[in-house]
Structure 1
Amino acid sequence: MNPSVSAPPTPAGLEAIHSSCRKLYADQPNPLQVTALLKYWLQGPDPLDYISMYANPGDVSQGIPAHWHYISFGLSDLHGDGRVHDISGPDGPSGFGFELTFRLKREESDTSPPTWPAELMQGLARYVFQTFNILCPGDHASWHVPLDNGESRLQHMLMTDDPQMPPVVSQCGRTQFVQIVGICLEELRAAQQWNGPGILDLLKKHTVSGGPWLVTDMRRGESIFELDPSFQQAVDDGLQQDGSDLTGVSGFCSWEDVDGVIGMENPTVDPQFTLLTQVTPSGLPAIPEASLRRGSRFSQDIHDSTSNGTDLSTPDTNYEATTELIRTRTLDYVHLKFTIEAGALLPLVFKGRLRHGRHFTFKSPADDLAITFVCDGIAGSFADQSHPYAAHGPWLQVFISEDFMSVITEDMSDLNNPEELKLPREYSWKGQKLRITIIPEE
């Protein structure tokens, strides 16, 4: 090697993350890494260039156990040359604007970090690259298999801000660090019914459920509601007072009118995958969906915008551009279909959203079809008391009156225990000219 030839400089986006890691882990300049063998820009399957793994001592005095700290490289723009992400400059987000992190409790027998979290992070990254939906603090992800593919009760995730990794800014843009937190089914449902940040705050109250830094312990056998029964009352009180801030999901659904099927009559669902994800705060979804990974069903929520979920007048621009010339038409009778993963959220739609004057949208991952439930007071809705069912292209709005809300909430209460439901399950209200069918995932 010619000593007069210097090595090329580290790309700005990559150096910004490296610099942040070096400040936090000055004693670990060369951490273990899981590296994509074939880079994504060379048609490789894994979007993350690599995941660095650090040994974090924690702080026993604060209830923070020793743990492994995983940090991804690739969701943000590492190179700044357009090979993966559009070039945005320092004033915008770097790539998708975030990287993933994960904190896994270190077992006494551990001599090196387990690599399964890297596979988990690659799966989430594939979802982001395929759908262009970012993950934000407070979002939840339903995985439906143990995160480590073992026998753990932790089969789902919440997202939070990494407590030790502040956002970094480079000439490639701004990057924040979103930490994955392992949760169980009861905690996932509470996050869906109420909100993610509230559940994160409860998880921090016990060391075993995460502590101040939300360290995931895959051996945790109790939910926060078993650790402290008073937490259930806190969730119930929060839901009663605040309602749910889950604006909508993307999940398999369809609708039809008297003229025939508009959406999927029999939705084809990957037997190993179902997707539920965020919609725009305005309530109009615009999500190009794609499968994520084996053995998983995915969901992600988003919090209400400043409209507090009461405004449908500003739909996503991409959707608006494709539908602005489509005539809105009213329907006399509608039949809605949901798979059980999406349909299980219907009680939440009525109790946590409509009763608080907020809309809720289901968006089909297979096409542009969407179903939005609305009530009185939703600005911009085109369904109302006189015309409860109205369609704008593939987007259907269903108006639920205050009187009917109590009836439909009671009639569909068995969806509060979806695992006990015999499918398909049909609900019908002749006076309302409405039929809803819940079908299996497969």
Structure 2
Amino acid sequence: MDEMRPNSGAHLGLASLFPQGLQAIYGECRRIYPDQPNPLQVTAIVKYWLGGPDPLDYISMYRNVGCPALDVQEHWHYVSLGLSDLYGDNRVHEFTGQDGPSGFGFELTFRLKREAGETAPPTWPAELMQGLARYVFQSENTFCSGDHISWHSPLDNSESRIQHMLLTEDPQMQPVQTPFGLVSFLQIVGVCTEELQAAQQWNGQGILDLLRGVHCSTPWSCESMWYVHPKQERVDKGIDTDGSNLSGVSAKCAWDDLSRPPEDEDDSRSICIGSQPRRLSDKDTEQIREALRKGLEINSKSILPPISSQRHSQDRPVQSVGHLQSKQNSRSRKDSLESESSAAIVPHELVRTRQLESVHLKFNHESGTLLPMCLRGASICSTWAVATGNAYAILLTEEFVEQMLGDLQDPSIHEESKLPKEYSWPDKKLKISVLPDTVFDSPLQ
């Protein structure tokens, strides 16, 4: 990427030279910043539609003077251009008319406090926005207000505690109707681990409302509200009143077949020694298959997979990436699972069952801490499924759920320094390990 200033030809009456989608977004920016017709921009040197790696053609950077009356300090305002359809000629996005969304239907924004004496905006937020855009283009999952993004790394690659993100409507920018569809603007809000976990246990919008009440000048400049203004009591009340709107969580997970004889006495497969395998009956197999089918009918949109920060994301090998039923309000343009026939929406690999006599499931830290919440919702379905390349399902009884909850509700599981944690139920031929994320970074794990 490189820095540049956008050609102001549209402002000089040469609008015909400007793509209409681009014009529409520039027009909304000029409404807010009439004195900045030529903001600094970060631009993709080789455009995505020419084979470049960066999906966002441009990221405009404006100087916002803030609003002292609202305790909003001066800051830099970043606006992406490229998640929506800028051109209308199918070079990036399929043109579907004016009535629907333009491209993915949104652009990203970001606000960063302007430091004293700072004459130019830092460019790391542009790198962050490109990383999120790459995820959207590769997965075709779109974002919504209230979504959370687990990043697990300081957003600015410093030692900051702000290592995750929430998304909300940009407070200044209004949705724009373009000739190629509607574009809304979602603002990235940096948050700490405490806010992320609270959003997962409750909901992102509730945490955003609490953040607004802490009198932060800009979302990035907020410290954890648990340290500045303790809010745990309000979060607990919200969880008790509203429950969680988390339909699931993305997970790094792997599994071992414990049915094979252990290679040595320390092998985790030793759990199955001395016990007779329990065969699944035809009735059990059909029950698992039907439960998976119903679950896919309810959650037919694709699930948000883990998003890795650029510090760790370059083609990192992982044995398998799976999903506990997942992600708040996630939408997708993919229609491979959509059909009027319930049988048609079940992928072939989920209908084909494989029998394992014993299994060892391994989860990364974040997904492991959320296992109790997943189990509390297991009564909705007679099975609990983890997709790890093949469908794996455990028939859960209320008694077994209560037993697992009692074991997994371990306060120390929230402290990564105390990992790994192992939980075993030999009579069910099941073992679960919660492991540090670094375990999944190694191709040997």
TM bucket (normalised to shorter chain) is 0.7 to 0.9
1:205-244 map, 5 Å = 205-208=213-216, 210=217, 214-217=218-221, 220=222, 222-229=223-230, 231-244=231-244
Residue 196 to residue 281, structure 1, CA distance change in 2 (3 Å): farther
Q: Say if 1:143 and 1:156, in contact at 8 Å, map to a contact too.
A: yes
- Is 1:147 the counterpart of 2:151? The answer is no
- Is 1:18 the counterpart of 2:43? The answer is no
- Is 1:116 the counterpart of 2:132? The answer is no
Three-state SS of the structure 1 residue aligned to 2:299 is coil
Q: Say if 1:167 and 1:175, in contact at 8 Å, map to a contact too.
A: yes
Three-state SS of the structure 2 residue aligned to 1:114 is coil
1:46-65 map, 5 Å = 46-65=54-73
1:83-102 map, 5 Å = 83-102=91-110
Q: Say if 2:259 and 2:359, in contact at 8 Å, map to a contact too.
A: no
- Is 1:303 the counterpart of 2:328? The answer is yes
- Is 1:320 the counterpart of 2:321? The answer is no
Question: Take 2:22 and 2:34, find their aligned partners in 1: how far apart are those partners?
Answer: 17
Residue 324 to residue 411, structure 1, CA distance change in 2 (3 Å): closer
Q: Which of 431, 435, 438 is equivalent to 2:427?
A: 431
**Cross-structure match for 1:346:** 371
Q: Say if 2:151 and 2:163, in contact at 8 Å, map to a contact too.
A: yes
Question: Take 1:223 and 1:392, find their aligned partners in 2: how far apart are those partners?
Answer: 35
Question: Take 1:200 and 1:79, find their aligned partners in 2: how far apart are those partners?
Answer: 34
Q: Say if 1:58 and 1:64, in contact at 8 Å, map to a contact too.
A: yes
Shift of 1:149: 1.6
Query: 1:17-71: CA deviations, max 9, x gaps?
Result: 1111111111111111111111111111111111101111221111211111100
- Is 1:135 the counterpart of 2:143? The answer is yes
In structure 1, what residue type is equivalent to 2:404?
I
Residue 317 to residue 396, structure 1, CA distance change in 2 (3 Å): farther
Three-state SS of the structure 1 residue aligned to 2:433 is strand
Residue 394 to residue 183, structure 1, CA distance change in 2 (3 Å): same
Query: 1:346-402: CA deviations, max 9, x gaps?
Result: 13324xxx2xxx4xxxxxxxxxxxxxxx21x44xx6x3xxxx789999333445443
In structure 2, what residue type is equivalent to 1:317?
E
Three-state SS of the structure 2 residue aligned to 1:44 is coil
In structure 1, what residue type is equivalent to 2:416?
E
Question: Take 2:371 and 2:130, find their aligned partners in 1: how far apart are those partners?
Answer: 31
Shift of 1:330: 7.7
In structure 2, what residue type is equivalent to 1:54?
Y
**Cross-structure match for 2:286:** none
**Cross-structure match for 1:252:** 252
Three-state SS of the structure 2 residue aligned to 1:251 is strand
Question: Take 1:168 and 1:243, find their aligned partners in 2: how far apart are those partners?
Answer: 34
Three-state SS of the structure 2 residue aligned to 1:27 is coil
In structure 1, what residue type is equivalent to 2:197?
R
In structure 2, what residue type is equivalent to 1:295?
R
1:265-414 map, 5 Å = 282-283=298-299, 286-287=302-303, 292-296=308-312, 302-303=327-328, 316-317=337-338, 320=345, 322-323=347-348, 326=351, 333-350=358-375, 354=376, 358=377, 374-375=378-379, 377-378=380-381, 383=383, 394-412=390-408, 413-414=410-411
Shift of 1:416: 3.9
Three-state SS of the structure 2 residue aligned to 1:239 is helix
Shift of 1:198: 0.8
Query: 1:94-127: CA deviations, max 9, x gaps?
Result: 1111100001112222112111111111111111
Residue 145 to residue 405, structure 1, CA distance change in 2 (3 Å): same
Question: Take 1:196 and 1:289, find their aligned partners in 2: how far apart are those partners?
Answer: 18
For structure 1, the residue ranges without an aligned partner over 5 or more in a row are 261-265, 267-278, 306-313, 359-373
TM-score w.r.t. length of structure 1: 0.75
In structure 2, what residue type is equivalent to 1:216?
W
- RMSD after superposition: 3.6
Three-state SS of the structure 2 residue aligned to 1:317 is coil
**Cross-structure match for 2:443:** none
For structure 2, the residue ranges without an aligned partner over 5 or more in a row are 1-12, 261-267, 269-294, 314-322, 440-445
Question: Take 2:86 and 2:254, find their aligned partners in 1: how far apart are those partners?
Answer: 40
Shift of 1:329: 7.5
Residue 40 to residue 327, structure 1, CA distance change in 2 (3 Å): closer
**Cross-structure match for 1:270:** none
Question: Take 1:157 and 1:133, find their aligned partners in 2: how far apart are those partners?
Answer: 16
Shift of 1:421: 2.4
Q: Say if 2:253 and 2:361, in contact at 8 Å, map to a contact too.
A: yes
TM-score w.r.t. length of structure 2: 0.74
Residue 188 to residue 82, structure 1, CA distance change in 2 (3 Å): same
Question: Take 1:249 and 1:390, find their aligned partners in 2: how far apart are those partners?
Answer: 11
Query: 1:261-314: CA deviations, max 9, x gaps?
Result: xxxxx9xxxxxxxxxxxx9993356359687543258x9974369xxxxxxxx9
Question: Take 1:131 and 1:82, find their aligned partners in 2: how far apart are those partners?
Answer: 19
Q: Say if 2:259 and 2:356, in contact at 8 Å, map to a contact too.
A: no
Q: Say if 2:166 and 2:190, in contact at 8 Å, map to a contact too.
A: yes
Aligned residues: 377
In structure 1, what residue type is equivalent to 2:162?
L
In structure 2, what residue type is equivalent to 1:349?
C
Question: Take 2:297 and 2:210, find their aligned partners in 1: how far apart are those partners?
Answer: 25
Identity among equivalent positions (%) equals 50
